[in-house]
Copies of this chain bind each other. A is one copy, B any other.
Amino acid sequence: MSEATWSVGRVAKRCGVNVSTLHFYEQKGLIKSWRNSGNQRRYKPEVLRRIAVIKAAQKVGISLEEVKQAFLSLPDNRTPTMDDWQQLSKDWQQMLDARIAYLQTLRDYLTGCIGCGCLSMSKCPLYNPDDKLAQQGCGAVILEQAEQRSLADKSNTA
């Protein structure tokens, strides 16, 4: 345990992922390795944390591309510190807050709009082909706009 370098199989086992997944992540630029004399991958222990973060991020709906972008903020020359990781998670937490708020808004419209008959009208905030809600980003702004719209939408029918 806690040796200085890890083989791909050991990392895979420890992290509960396939070896092919590690190849895939490397190809996508999410993790890095060097090769030993026999061309086999070797990893720093740091990779375990990266994979853990990838998996945690995926669980909350963050794409690999977003993870990759976030990893760009980590130092390239030294092992990331606690502070580096915490900055990263703070950014994501804000994104998540916004996503949750957006979902709540949509959920609150769901019963109302599907049932009320306004769904096929262009003004309905839930059925909106242009997705103005999404275009405006997710967050507090939407909740306000949503309120304004719900007043305007009353008594529209397909």
Contacts and interface: CB of A to CB of B under 8 A. Distances in A.
Consensus secondary structure, chain A interface: helix
Interface in A101-158: 103-104, 106-107, 109-111, 113-115, 117, 119-120, 124, 126-127, 129-131, 134, 158
A124 B56 CA distance: 10
Given A60-B106, A100-B104, 6 more contacts: A16-B129, A56-B109, A56-B114, A59-B126, A82-B117, A103-B103
Interface of A: 14-17, 45, 48-49, 51-53, 55-56, 59-61, 82, 85-86, 88-90, 92-93, 96-97, 99-100, 103-104, 106-107, 109-111, 113-115, 117, 119-120, 124, 126-127, 129-131, 134, 158
